[in-house]
Amino acid sequence: MAADRSVFDLNDLTHWSEVGTGVSPVARLAVIGDPVAHSKSPQMHNPGLAAAERNASYIRVHVPPGKVSEALGLFGSNGFWGVNVTIPHKFEALAAVDFVDPLAAKLGAVNTVAFRANGLHGYNTDGPGFLKAVGESFGREVKDLSVLILGAGGGAGRAVAVQCALEGCPHLYLANRTQAKVDELAEELERLGAQTAVNVVTWSDDALLGVLPKVDLIVNGSPVGMKEGDPALLPVAGLRGDQLFFDMAYRADGGVTSLGQSAALVSARYTDGAALLLHQGALSYEHWFGEAAPIEAMRAGLSAAIGRPV
């Protein structure tokens, strides 16, 4: 891929017949977000494409809010096969596609788009990818765990909350800076008829101290922790060494997120969003191509990009 263009934009897509000639192999897949420069998806997907002997590359494209539908139209007209969607565009993508996979409809967000002859097909691999990452990282199943999700009102956090309820986890605690979003989510989970006991928690130290003793798995669905110096998400006094810590965010520099730093204080097991990125990416590949992903090549590429094993 052209070394001097790590991120493209809407203007580039508009003039792709000229701009795209600088990308080799030809770009057929992309990730969109705002921001998107930090994404390690290209370093993960490009080795997978090479291992599968697909003459194509995967790029980053910066898309501002409100422009997702326009961007998807440009990708389609420029011969792209598929797109991954990251913060903050997963709700916009849900509204922009022509066909929504039933699971994506339940999860309420789209993070994977496939371009097909009859239109745009939207999927969500965050929820299923989360289940696979928890199983691989901790050797546990979500259905057996009581779960606290911080940032449950966002696209990825919401998807994981619904996935946990669909799995039938015994207790689900939802916290979000904007409580109205999780109040609405709790009502939706009740309409789904899930057997999970759902509780909305105020995101404050006092409220969290009241529920942490009941929690087995703590999930961060917010972007807090992606940068050095981000604040702690939880009161350390409520944490235990036998709890599991899963951060959906990851540090692009390979460092430990603030949730991971909290886990280390009580010697608890922790994994970050690199594990989720790998498994949701592999599932995206399966939606695009209808075959098993070259996941070990993808794992090796992602590990090299962040400087540690995934």
- Whichever domain contains 213, its CATH number is 3.40.50.720
Clarify whether residues 33 and 152 are in a common domain. Answer: no
Clarify whether residues 88 and 135 are in a common domain. Answer: no
Report the interhelical angle of 273-289 vs 295-306 (nearest 10°). 140
The span from the CA of 61 to the CA of 39, in Å, is: 10
C-beta atoms surrounding 309 within 10 Å: 10
- Token duo for residue 259: 């949730």
Q: Is residue 239 situated within a structural domain?
A: yes
Domain span holding position 15? 8-124+276-306
User: Cα angle vertex 297, ends 306, 27, to 5°?
Assistant: 85
Could you give the number of structural domains in the chain? 2
Residue 2: per-residue pLDDT: 40
Q: Is residue 107 situated within a structural domain?
A: yes
Q: Is residue 101 situated within a structural domain?
A: yes
Q: Is residue 145 situated within a structural domain?
A: yes
Stretches where the chain sits below pLDDT 70 are: 1-4
Residue 194: per-residue pLDDT: 79
Clarify whether residues 143 and 78 are in a common domain. Answer: no
Q: Is residue 3 situated within a structural domain?
A: no
Clarify whether residues 119 and 171 are in a common domain. Answer: no
- Token duo for residue 31: 């990730």
Clarify whether residues 289 and 259 are in a common domain. Answer: no
Clarify whether residues 76 and 165 are in a common domain. Answer: no
Residue 156: per-residue pLDDT: 83
Kindly give the residue spans of alpha helices, DSSP state H, lying in the chain: 10-14, 16-19, 41-51, 68-77, 90-96, 102-107, 126-138, 155-167, 179-192, 205-211, 258-265, 273-289, 295-306
Q: Is residue 2 situated within a structural domain?
A: no
Clarify whether residues 93 and 134 are in a common domain. Answer: no
Clarify whether residues 191 and 221 are in a common domain. Answer: yes
The span from the CA of 271 to the CA of 246, in Å, is: 5
> Is residue 90 annotated as a catalytic residue, yes or no?
yes
The span from the CA of 64 to the CA of 138, in Å, is: 36
Nearest to 259 by CA among 196, 270, 267: 270
| pTM, entire model | 0.93
- Token duo for residue 69: 């539908």
Residue type, position 301, single letter: G
Q: Is residue 258 situated within a structural domain?
A: yes
Clarify whether residues 249 and 140 are in a common domain. Answer: yes
Residue 248: per-residue pLDDT: 93
Clarify whether residues 47 and 183 are in a common domain. Answer: no
Choose, from 40, 67, 90, 214, the residue flagged as catalytic: 90
Q: Please report, for the domain that includes residue 32, its CATH number.
A: 3.40.50.10860
Residue 193: per-residue pLDDT: 81
**Assign residue 139 a region: left if phi > 0, alpha if psi is -120 to 50, beta otherwise?**
left
CB 198, CB 189: distance < 8 Å: yes
Strands 112-116 vs 82-85: parallel, antiparallel or unpaired: antiparallel
Clarify whether residues 154 and 215 are in a common domain. Answer: yes
Q: Is residue 20 situated within a structural domain?
A: yes
Clarify whether residues 237 and 159 are in a common domain. Answer: yes
- Token duo for residue 244: 């599991």
Residue type, position 53, single letter: E
Q: How far is residue 222 from each of residues 10, 132, 226, 285, 306, measured CA to CA in Å? A: 26, 20, 9, 25, 20
